[in-house]
Copies of this chain bind each other. A is one copy, B any other.
């Protein structure tokens, strides 16, 4: 029974300090979300598989955690296997007919073919699938060779040998047959034994929510959602199988003021966390399609953006190579040159883009949108973040149709993006509600946590727990202590009585390890005089105080 217990690969326990720090980030984000008018919703941890499958591409489908059906979940599969066992029967009938009907007067090849075709044309025929036929084809030659080698034997001996051959084929046949059978293919079987799956992100469940509750929702709907998601990714440094997403989205409005507000929201959250100097990178899908249009690669927009997105990671040359390999013409890539050296202020980049994209309607629209957002932000000002145009930003995602956001940590902290988002014109279309535009951003909790930890930005107060410990010298003293503990708790002071009348040293250790600032000692004398001995752990001072004084001193 004594097993060494552990958490599953890619998951984590959080101790009290970690929970407090994570909650500090959550509550800062939450408070800003609410100040901006976003309302919280929550969706179930698992969804019907049909809600999730096919929404994240093939890779996503693979990484979604599926939940096994309850009860006799194998019933359907078992029936499929039983049905498939008619192949046994066909196998047996075919060879038995062949062997029983030994006829020296006909060519064995003809007998083989004839027997097979009459089987196919028989009632049984409809149960014969191509896997079975392939096998009969495969062993035909072997059978004929064996048959011919038995020319000089008598009928009984012949039969005996042929049946031995049949039975020796039987095992091979079934191994091959079952291995190829679709009903035993892991991917194909999933839908028969699992109809629910764990949430993979918050966007698809949100889209489902909006469509399901569309009659109760008053648009535009500004919602936020802070919940865990699960992905069966290979766990690695900083990538987990269970992690939180913090999303804010607006659906039902195409107004660019939302994009302006999301820039402000990023700035507010990171400023509130004390994280100065973040860069909010912005791009627009229309700029990307404009460029693709101009270089003659409109039909390769995805390939183009996926390659461009890697500029930071693999450099200019490799990006060009990848584009070439995807069939983007060299002269198109040449036209991209100004992009790679696009630097300077937001405004000067806008001017350069105007020159490059002058022939693309899409491109011009994208520029106009970026310009609008930038001008508004310039007017309104940011507290601590910088807004930067990054024309290489594509975020690998195919569903953005307008703005694309990504936030990087302050320079000097090596860390991927700590936030991202964008606009998608048809969020709810996958569930049948057309033309609902959405725009949203997300905060990466785990990365923000690491950055705050690295920069020492967690306030000390957030991990403060018990404020005063009452030493336990016995039941009478404990009861007397609990009267003060009760009074303190009523004032919201975190107060504790050490549960056992253990050795003084052990109890003081408990206080020290937890950095408890005050300790109260109650002995017979204190009870007699109705006072409490209060010790300030930092100063080492102690004094006798009444219950009222105690409350005042600690509070």
Given contacts A89-B171, A100-B163, 4 further A-B contacts (CB under 8 A): A1-B430, A8-B48, A35-B494, A66-B67
A513 and B218 alpha carbons, distance in the complex (Å):
8
- Give the number of copies in the complex: 2
Contacting pair A19 B42 (CB below 8 A): yes
Q: Does A152 lie at the interface of the complex (its beta carbon under 8 Å from any beta carbon of B)? A: no
A255 and B198 alpha carbons, distance in the complex (Å):
42
**Contact count band on A:** 35 or more
Which residues of A56-89 have CB atoms within 8 Å of chain B's CB atoms?
Answer: 62-63, 65-68, 70-75, 77-78, 81-82, 85-86, 88-89
Contacting pair B253 A68 (CB below 8 A): no
Closest B-chain residue to A66, C-beta based?
B68
Contacting pair B36 A489 (CB below 8 A): yes
Q: Does A412 lie at the interface of the complex (its beta carbon under 8 Å from any beta carbon of B)? A: no
Which residues of A133-183 have CB atoms within 8 Å of chain B's CB atoms?
Answer: 156, 159-160, 163, 166-167, 170-171, 174-175, 178-179
Q: If the complex has contacts A1-B432, A184-B78, A380-B486, are A493 and B35 also in contact, measured as CB distance less than 8 A?
A: yes
Give per-residue flags for A358-378: 1 if the beta carbon is below 8 A from chain B beta carbons, else 0.
000000000000000000100
A264 and B184 alpha carbons, distance in the complex (Å):
58
Which residues of A40-61 have CB atoms within 8 Å of chain B's CB atoms?
Answer: 40-48, 50-51
Q: If the complex has contacts A35-B495, A163-B100, are A68 and B178 also in contact, measured as CB distance less than 8 A?
A: no
**Residue among A8, A174, A185 with most chain B CB within 10 A:** A8
Chain B residues positioned under 8 Å from A15 (CB to CB): 41, 213, 216
Q: Does A232 lie at the interface of the complex (its beta carbon under 8 Å from any beta carbon of B)? A: yes
Chain B residues positioned under 8 Å from A250 (CB to CB): 499
A335 and B321 alpha carbons, distance in the complex (Å):
91
Contacting pair B51 A5 (CB below 8 A): yes
Closest B-chain residue to A73, C-beta based?
B186
> A40 to nearest B CB, angstroms?
4
A419 and B416 alpha carbons, distance in the complex (Å):
45
A interface residue numbers (CB < 8 A to B): 1-8, 11-16, 19-20, 23, 31, 34-37, 39-48, 50-51, 62-63, 65-68, 70-75, 77-78, 81-82, 85-86, 88-89, 92-93, 96, 100, 156, 159-160, 163, 166-167, 170-171, 174-175, 178-179, 184-186, 189-190, 193-196, 198, 208-209, 211-213, 216, 218, 220, 222-223, 228, 230, 232, 242, 250, 253-255, 257-258, 260-261, 264, 268, 376, 379-380, 430-432, 465-466, 472, 478-479, 482-483, 486, 489, 492-497, 499-500, 509-510, 513-514
Q: Which of B4, B432, B494 contacts A34 (CB 8 A)?
A: B494
> A146 to nearest B CB, angstroms?
16
Chain B residues positioned under 8 Å from A209 (CB to CB): 13
Contacting pair B257 A171 (CB below 8 A): no
Contacting pair B465 A261 (CB below 8 A): no
A-B pairs with beta carbons under 8 Å apart, 8 shown? A15-B41, A19-B41, A37-B494, A45-B230, A96-B167, A258-B499, A260-B482, A380-B482
Contacting pair B167 A74 (CB below 8 A): no
Contacting pair A465 B39 (CB below 8 A): yes
A216 and B20 alpha carbons, distance in the complex (Å):
17
6 closest A-B pairs (Cβ-Cβ)?
A2-B432, A11-B44, A16-B39, A37-B496, A255-B499, A253-B499
Contacting pair A81 B82 (CB below 8 A): no
Closest B-chain residue to A483, C-beta based?
B380
Contacting pair A11 B88 (CB below 8 A): no
Contacting pair A16 B41 (CB below 8 A): yes
Chain B residues positioned under 8 Å from A509 (CB to CB): 218
Chain B residues positioned under 8 Å from A190 (CB to CB): 68
Q: Which of B43, B50, B63, B253 contacts A3 (CB 8 A)?
A: B50
> A305 to nearest B CB, angstroms?
24
Chain B residues positioned under 8 Å from A483 (CB to CB): 379-380
Chain B residues positioned under 8 Å from A35 (CB to CB): 489, 492-495
A254 and B482 alpha carbons, distance in the complex (Å):
17
Closest B-chain residue to A95, C-beta based?
B92
Contacting pair B16 A223 (CB below 8 A): yes
> A379 to nearest B CB, angstroms?
6
Q: If the complex has contacts A257-B499, A380-B482, are A431 and B16 also in contact, measured as CB distance less than 8 A?
A: no
Q: If the complex has contacts A2-B432, A379-B479, are A7 and B242 also in contact, measured as CB distance less than 8 A?
A: no
Q: Which of B74, B92, B466 contacts A37 (CB 8 A)?
A: B466
Contacting pair A74 B170 (CB below 8 A): no
Closest B-chain residue to A510, C-beta based?
B218
Chain B residues positioned under 8 Å from A379 (CB to CB): 479, 483
Contacting pair B13 A88 (CB below 8 A): no
Q: Which of B72, B495, B500 contacts A253 (CB 8 A)?
A: B500
A117 and B61 alpha carbons, distance in the complex (Å):
52
Chain B residues positioned under 8 Å from A70 (CB to CB): 62-63, 65, 232
Contacting pair B170 A88 (CB below 8 A): yes
> A173 to nearest B CB, angstroms?
9
Contacting pair B44 A500 (CB below 8 A): no
